A = this chain, B = another copy of it.
């Protein structure tokens, strides 16, 4: 039986995370993770077959920060907006140190390039599989594995999901 307080803390973390990305405040994005975190985006077919290859793989907060710097300074991509919906949050396990949770997501991508300006498409749907810990009372992702159903990615996957 999950306490309402714990459930609310997990919900708040997940919702703050998506608003950070949707607001394009990517510089704050690594702060949702612990120092020695794991963030991966994995196609569902790989997960279902036990294959390890990820589309995006970061195993420290420093790698997440590096990714943001690359996003701002090096990567070339069509400008766009993200909008996340998250649903069906389920706390599947908990002990005194860690909470395990799953949730479904959909990301809608709105183009900002001159040709497709203002049009919205379903960009990616899938599942978050999270391990959440509390660092000085603040909920953080120790691990966030994004399982993507949508393996045919429109254009590039440059912004984190």
User: Is A159 on the interface with B (CB-CB < 8 A)?
Assistant: no
A47 to chain B, nearest CB (A): 11
* Cα distance, A8 to B6, chains bound together (Å): 13
User: Is A130 on the interface with B (CB-CB < 8 A)?
Assistant: no
User: Is A71 on the interface with B (CB-CB < 8 A)?
Assistant: no
* Contact with A83, one of B84, B117, B126 (Cβ below 8 angstroms): B126
B90 touches A149 (CB 8 A): no
A84 touches B87 (CB 8 A): yes
B106 touches A83 (CB 8 A): yes
User: Is A94 on the interface with B (CB-CB < 8 A)?
Assistant: no
* Cα distance, A151 to B81, chains bound together (Å): 12
Question: Which positions 51-88 of chain A face chain B at CB distance < 8 Å?
Answer: 81, 83-88
A19 touches B90 (CB 8 A): yes
User: Is A16 on the interface with B (CB-CB < 8 A)?
Assistant: yes
A119 to chain B, nearest CB (A): 5
* Contact with A117, one of B4, B14, B121, B151 (Cβ below 8 angstroms): B151
Besides A15-B89, A43-B118, A120-B122, 14 new A-B residue pairs in contact (Cβ under 8 A), listed by A number? A14-B88, A83-B104, A83-B125, A85-B85, A85-B87, A85-B104, A87-B87, A106-B106, A108-B149, A110-B151, A117-B151, A118-B152, A120-B149, A120-B150
Q: Which 3 A-B pairs have the closest CB atoms?
A: A118-B151, A118-B152, A85-B87
